[in-house]
Amino acid sequence: MNRITGKAKDATLIEMSQRDSHIGEDNNGLFSTSDRDTQLPGHLESEGTLAGELTKDSVYFRDGVRRIDFVLSYVDDKDVDRKQERRREFEANLEKVGLELEREDKSESDDRKTYFVKIHAPWEVLSKYADILKIKVPFKVSDIPKAGEAPLHWLTRPFRLPEHIMQPEQDHFTSPFDKNKTAFFLIQDKDTFFPASTRNRIVYYILTRCEYYKEDRPEKDKRGIKRLISNGTYTSAFPLHDCRYWKKARESHCESERYHLYRHWARFFSFYKEQPLNLIRKYYGEKIGIYFAWLGFYTEMLFFAAVMGVICFVYGLLSYEDNVTSKEICEKGGDIVMCPLCDKKCSFWKLNSTCLSSWQSHLFDNEGTVFFAIFMGIWVTLFLEFWKRRQARLEYEWDLVDFEEEQQQLQIRPEFEVMCTHYRTNRITQEKEPYMPVATKLPRFCLSGATVLFWMCLIIACIMGVIAYRLAVYAAFAKIMKNSETSKIQLVGSLITPQLATSVTASCINFLIILILNFLYEHVAIWITDMEIPKTHLEYENKLTMKMFMFQFVNYYSSCFYVAFFKGKFVGYPRDYNYMFGKWSGLRNEECDPGGCLIELTTQLVIVMAGKQVVGNIQEALLPLMRNWWGRRKARNHPEKVYSRWEQDHNLVSFGQFGLFYEYLEMVIQFGFITLFVASFPLAPLLALVNNILEVRVDAWKFTTQFRRPVAAKARNIGVWHEILNVVAIISVVTNAFIMAFTSDMIPRLVYLYSDNNHSMHGYINNSLSVYNISQIPFDNMPDKGEDPAWYNSSVHTTCRYRDHRYPPGHEREYSHTMQFWHILAAKLAFIIIMEHVVFVVKFFVAWVIPDVPTDVHARIKRERYLIQEYLHDFDMNQIKLQLSQSTTFATDTGNGNGNGNGNGNTENASLLPHDTPEKQDVLSDC
């Protein structure tokens, strides 16, 4: 077994020189270690970097030995004295903890006004907090054989990355660090034993809990770097990137992982390559690594959905000429007079005006759409089940199997500790811990719930306003179209109908409202979540996630739900029309085209979904680029000896607390679009696939070039987002079934096809339109004089048609529903029940057949746990034997010195052993 070797002696020399170094106070009252005039003998030469070659573009202190684990920055302003006092106390407390500081004066910075405080965590601090946080570290090289390569693996060779990029670390057995058992772990070099991501995680843990009040005036709320940044004492706090992204670091002992990530991952022309997930995890931490693993897997699964969607669309194209319904509308629709679609301003119109929209509708509303809707219900289940397996494999490979319990116990938010004045004993740990009484929680939760409800009602009110707009402007568009003003636009004039013009403009207005409400509610959601004071970081993220998703679910999908399930369903008929706000409003409910409302749902979905993706990509790519333009120019043009590593990173965009939150939210909203309403637009998965291929590289580019290095954080899964995806998957089965039944015209066509003796679709349009006597139309519903088109003649045209199944005038049951209406309704309900049951049965069967954890991973987890216990037991027994042999030797020497025999010496040793080594006694009793 490897022992502690290498730079332990150097580390001791560093600590001795730190104790001897002068710590003074500058003009601003800040503590900083003095510059080192001498270097440790032989250290830098052994690493291949001479002292004279050190540049400011380095991640080490001026001595070239101690690594910079974190950087704080600040500027002087009007309130100098108070902030100066806070900084003095804060940095003094950091030094008491054991952290080492080095300060860069503002005269050394490029802007001549920013101070930088560099922080280094020595071995003693790292080992102490690694023990507290139970960070897993390697203790033995894994001897479990790896799985063999899949058959035909050579086919994937063009998509692979080099092995040293995909597997940057050797596979080890790991165990939670114990500072009292350092000899058990593979510590070859204390300076590099903890990777940079673990080091910055430990330092950030200290920074968020360090006080900045004086000992004689304890103030509980004055602690943590977050509060110091919020009150302006510091401007930022961040760990450093290891090098510039376009070239490697000059120090040979620096990893240059950022350079490798940019070269093999962040460039767009690598879009067809696999992602280096292990290197991402090593550099950014497990939480960001899990996100990119999920995004990559989601994109891979979208490929299969996109292929099926394209096949369905191609089927619609190939069956284009066989569309009897559209042919009847175009060829015979000129002889069919339709009733007005609105009161007073709308005139009678001919059915053939919807010729083009009926052909467009057939592309998405055909027999293949039913099978595609069923396929997507099964695809969602396969996606979620296979992701569980991929996630379980990552949990094993990244040592996250037992992380959840540690996370719940250890990562209490500093804000919770500050705000809670009540303490109680934990039943498990038997230690005092802060808690919030119910009397304090209840008012906060009530206010939070009321705020969420108010904003959701506000969204619904905005959607109602958009619907009122659709109803009000339809008449205006209809009048414009009647006056043939669109005929001046030769290329697109024939494509424009009042329904299409209304739908497109309403969708654009709705999308603008969505963007505005999103901007407002983001701040409200954060405020009410902070007000609830969640206990742990996980609880905070879950609460914020649920609020934001509920809001965005209503915000993005409500307009699609209206078009899919309400438009055209509650219209009435010429004698008794239904109105949105009552008859006094004059806003008659919208009707669908004779071809159905599916094409309008497709238009709504395309505009909102595509618009969101375009705006999101612009925001993600251009905004950080514009903000970092000047910093990137300086980084490129300034030499390394002038523009320091901490200044380069300081000019980048801060990743922020909610960086990943918005990334997940964007993808989950997209997931809702391609599952909830995919029956109306089979090409939606293809749009999502193209967007996600770009999204992976845009996110990688942002993380690598535009963002400061995030603080590493652990996460074993995607959290509450998985439950949200499950709920969306279940709802999608219901929505698609209802879309096919009530929004699509598929079921009425099938009923007519199989009820007709000839089994033909000829005559379907005439069968689907009811007849109404124009003379019986109420005066309030009749067009005004002068609104009738030139071809209309009241003496010739005595009846008009409308979309419904009602008895004609003169029948004994005049204008009541025919039996065909009830047959179609029964068929729709039967279709919904059958489709839902088929999809749900398949979903549950697939979920039952596919285990959440792969068999080989499950066996490896058990094998590794067994081996870890065995190695720990052997190590403890060896330590006990070593201590017993040393104690026996000491007792024998003592007995010989006193003139006693071996027996007396052994007896004396036996009596002293329990008293001198109580830890050994506990270990022996355990064994």
pLDDT of residue 890: 65
679 Cβ neighbours under 8 A, 6+ residues apart: 369, 372, 373, 376, 736, 739, 740, 744
**In the predicted model, what is the mean pLDDT of the chain?**
79
Of 694, 740, 394, 724, give the one whose Cα is nearest residue 748: 740
- The first and second tokens of residue 373, run together, are 């809707």
pLDDT of residue 503: 75
CB 32 within 8 A of CB 117: yes
Of 589, 595, 592, 597, give the one whose Cα is nearest residue 564: 597
720 Cβ neighbours under 8 A, 6+ residues apart: 541, 542, 545, 546
DSSP state of 45: H
pLDDT of residue 201: 92
- Residue 120: phi, psi to the nearest 5? -125, 135
Is the pLDDT confidence value at 47 over 80? no
Is the pLDDT confidence value at 256 over 90? no
Is the pLDDT confidence value at 909 over 70? no
pLDDT of residue 496: 61
Most confident segment among 227-231, 270-274, 277-281, 873-877: 277-281
Average pLDDT over residues 118-122: 95
pLDDT of residue 118: 95
User: How would residue 894 be classed by pLDDT, with cut points 50, 70 and 90?
Assistant: low
User: How would residue 235 be classed by pLDDT, with cut points 50, 70 and 90?
Assistant: very high
Alpha carbon distance 582, 111 (integer Å) = 65
Angle between helices 720-738 and 819-849 (to 10 degrees): 150
**E strand segments, 288-381:** 337-338, 349-350
Most confident segment among 70-74, 156-160, 890-894: 70-74
User: How would residue 278 be classed by pLDDT, with cut points 50, 70 and 90?
Assistant: very high
pLDDT of residue 517: 85
- Residue 422: phi, psi to the nearest 5? -100, 145
Alpha carbon distance 823, 23 (integer Å) = 90
User: pLDDT higher for 153 or 4?
Assistant: 153
What are the pLDDT digits (tens) for 592-621? 766 667 888 888 888 888 888 888 877 777
- The first and second tokens of residue 400, run together, are 């996250």
Of 769, 735, 734, 736, give the one whose Cα is nearest residue 752: 769
Is the pLDDT confidence value at 733 over 60? yes
- The first and second tokens of residue 624, run together, are 């950080």
Strands 70-75 vs 114-120: parallel, antiparallel or unpaired: antiparallel
Alpha carbon distance 665, 140 (integer Å) = 40
Please list, residue by residue across 611-629, b when 16 or more beta carbons sit within 10 angstroms of its beta carbon and e when fewer do.
Answer: bbbeebeeebbeebeeebe
User: pLDDT higher for 4 or 368?
Assistant: 368
User: How would residue 848 be classed by pLDDT, with cut points 50, 70 and 90?
Assistant: confident
* 141 bridge partner residues: 172
Is the pLDDT confidence value at 73 over 50? yes
pLDDT of residue 16: 36
pLDDT of residue 282: 92
At position 912, the amino acid (one-letter code) is L
Min mean pLDDT across 272-286, 513-527, 633-647 is at 633-647
pLDDT of residue 428: 67
Is the pLDDT confidence value at 52 over 60? no
Q: Give me Rg for the CA atoms of the chain.
A: 36
User: pLDDT higher for 881 or 298?
Assistant: 298
pLDDT of residue 51: 41
Angle ∠(902,906,908) on CA atoms, nearest 5: 115
pLDDT of residue 68: 93
164 Cβ neighbours under 8 A, 6+ residues apart: none
User: pLDDT higher for 46 or 783?
Assistant: 783
In the block, which residue shows the tokens 């104690």? Answer: 887
Within the chain, what is the greatest distance between any pair of CA atoms?
A: 140
Q: How many CA atoms lie within 13 A of 193 on its CB side?
A: 31
pLDDT of residue 308: 94
User: pLDDT higher for 906 or 74?
Assistant: 74
What are the pLDDT digits (tens) for 324-374? 888 888 888 888 888 888 887 788 888 888 888 888 888 888 888 888 988
At position 533, the amino acid (one-letter code) is I
Alpha carbon distance 456, 462 (integer Å) = 10
pLDDT of residue 180: 85
Cα dihedral across residues 453, 614, 295, 277: positive or negative: negative
What are the pLDDT digits (tens) for 436-487? 777 777 888 888 888 888 888 888 888 888 888 877 777 676 666 555 443 4
Average pLDDT over residues 239-265: 87
User: How would residue 579 be classed by pLDDT, with cut points 50, 70 and 90?
Assistant: confident
| Percent of the chain whose predicted confidence (pLDDT) is above 90 | 23
Of 213, 207, 220, give the one whose Cα is nearest residue 82: 213
What's the distance, Cα to Cα, between the start and end of the chain in Å? 22
- The first and second tokens of residue 594, run together, are 């004779």
* 349 bridge partner residues: 338
Average pLDDT over residues 178-193: 86
pLDDT of residue 641: 59
Average pLDDT over residues 169-197: 86
Strands 100-104 vs 114-120: parallel, antiparallel or unpaired: antiparallel
- The first and second tokens of residue 176, run together, are 């939670």
pLDDT of residue 394: 92
pLDDT of residue 726: 93
- The first and second tokens of residue 387, run together, are 């992701």
Per DSSP, the residues of 859-923 read HHHHHHHHHHHHHHHHHHHHHHHHHHHHHHHHHHHHHHHTT--HHHHHHHHHHHHHHH-HHHHHH
Alpha carbon distance 354, 331 (integer Å) = 11
Average pLDDT over residues 647-673: 88
Is the pLDDT confidence value at 847 over 90? no
**pTM of the predicted protein model:** 0.83
Name the 3-class secondary structure at 41.
Answer: coil
Average pLDDT over residues 652-660: 82
pLDDT of residue 12: 36
For every residue of 552-580, which 3-state class applies, written as one string? HHHHHHHHHHHHHHCCCCCCEECCEECEC
User: pLDDT higher for 898 or 465?
Assistant: 465
pLDDT of residue 690: 93
User: pLDDT higher for 188 or 427?
Assistant: 188
pLDDT of residue 583: 76
Alpha carbon distance 175, 172 (integer Å) = 10
In the block, which residue shows the tokens 């108010």? Answer: 454
Is the pLDDT confidence value at 575 over 70? yes
